[in-house]
Structure 1
Amino acid sequence: MSYKHILIPVDDSPISYAAIEHAEKLAKAFGSKVTVMSVIALDPFTGVDFYKIAPAVTQYILEAEANAEGRLKDIKETLSHHGILVETKIIREVPTATGILNIADEINADLIVMGSHGRTGLKKLFLGSVAQEVLTISPIPVLIVKQSN
């Protein structure tokens, strides 16, 4: 089996960078193209009176987009320098797992490589798991890179 197009969803966590390292090795081995993506969601403001927090939401979105753009630019430069064909995408205003799966479908990815914090028990129940949701719903293989303790 060979992977032609690998999708790597990232955020600003160290586990995302571990996933990038794994994906880079796979991309080199298979000559794969890579798309690195971030999702900008409004989750922190769910259920809050929009009119009272509108300036905070606007500032949050602007900062989140600037951070995501900078992160994706740096990752693209690094992977490109290592000989990998890279594209980047930012998705807005959708749940994270939905954004990841939509992009995987849009780009015809045949593998998703993503990090997981490896939460278990009550932490997973209350905090949810984007990686678990993607793994459960995805029609294509998903490689989960777990955070080591």
Structure 2
Amino acid sequence: MTYKHILVPVDESPISYAAVEQALALAKPLNCQVTITSVIAVDPFVGVDFYKVAPAITDYFIEAEKNAQLNLAEIKQSFIRDGITVDTKIVRGVSPAEGIMQVADEVGADLIIMGSHGRTGFKKLVLGSVAQEVLTQSPIPVLIMKV
């Protein structure tokens, strides 16, 4: 199978960088376009009184957006240096898995490369797994980098 467009969802974790490295290794020889995405979710504030935390929410989103933009710009340069066509996207206000699936559909990705902590058992049940959710929802192949 040949791929034309790879989606790489990232956050600020070392696992994201493993996915980026894998995408760099695959994109050039396969002549793939790459989209790197970051999802800014509202998760930290679910279930709290909006009026009491409105300034905190605003500060959170401003800071999260700034960090995501800087992170994406830095990662983008790695692909540009290797002569790989790359784009970046930030998704706001949805769950990480939902945002990843939206971008995959929007850009016509045919492969998703992402990291996973590899949690199992109780930790996975309590903490959830974005990678697992994407894996079960995705109609396209998903390559999971486990660190």
Please classify the TM superposition score into its range, dividing by the shorter chain length: over 0.9
Does the alignment pair 1:57 with 2:57?
yes
Shift of 1:82: 1.2
Q: In structure 2, the residue corresponding to 1:74 is in which secondary structure?
A: helix
TM-score (norm 2): 0.99
Q: In structure 1, the residue corresponding to 2:47 is in which secondary structure?
A: coil
Q: In structure 2, the residue corresponding to 1:143 is in which secondary structure?
A: strand
Give the total of aligned pairs.
Answer: 147
Indicate the residue corresponding to 2:95 in structure 1: 95
Kindly provide the amino acid, as one letter, of the partner of residue 85 in structure 1: T
1:24 and 1:78 map into 2 onto residues whose CA distance is: 8
Does the alignment pair 1:134 with 2:122?
no
Runs of 4+ in 1 over 4 A off after TM superposition: none
* Matching of residues 68-107 of structure 1 within 5 Å: 68-107=68-107
| RMSD, aligned α-carbons | 0.5
Matched-pair identity in %: 65
Shift of 1:123: 0.5
Indicate the residue corresponding to 2:24 in structure 1: 24
Shift of 1:9: 0.2
Q: In structure 1, the residue corresponding to 2:48 is in which secondary structure?
A: coil
2:84 and 2:74 map into 1 onto residues whose CA distance is: 14
CA displacement, residues 111-131 of structure 1 (integer Å, 9 cap, x when unaligned): 000000111111000000000
Shift of 1:18: 0.4
CA displacement, residues 7-45 of structure 1 (integer Å, 9 cap, x when unaligned): 000000000000000011110120000000000001010
Structure 1 unaligned spans of 5+ = none
1:82 and 1:57 map into 2 onto residues whose CA distance is: 38
Shift of 1:132: 0.1
Q: In structure 1, the residue corresponding to 2:76 is in which secondary structure?
A: helix
Indicate the residue corresponding to 2:121 in structure 1: 121
Q: In structure 2, the residue corresponding to 1:106 is in which secondary structure?
A: helix
1:71 and 1:20 map into 2 onto residues whose CA distance is: 12
Q: In structure 2, the residue corresponding to 1:3 is in which secondary structure?
A: coil
Q: In structure 2, the residue corresponding to 1:48 is in which secondary structure?
A: coil
Structure 2 unaligned spans of 5+ = none
2:75 and 2:133 map into 1 onto residues whose CA distance is: 25
CA displacement, residues 43-89 of structure 1 (integer Å, 9 cap, x when unaligned): 01000001000000000000000000000000111110111110000
2:24 and 2:3 map into 1 onto residues whose CA distance is: 12
Kindly provide the amino acid, as one letter, of the partner of residue 45 in structure 2: F
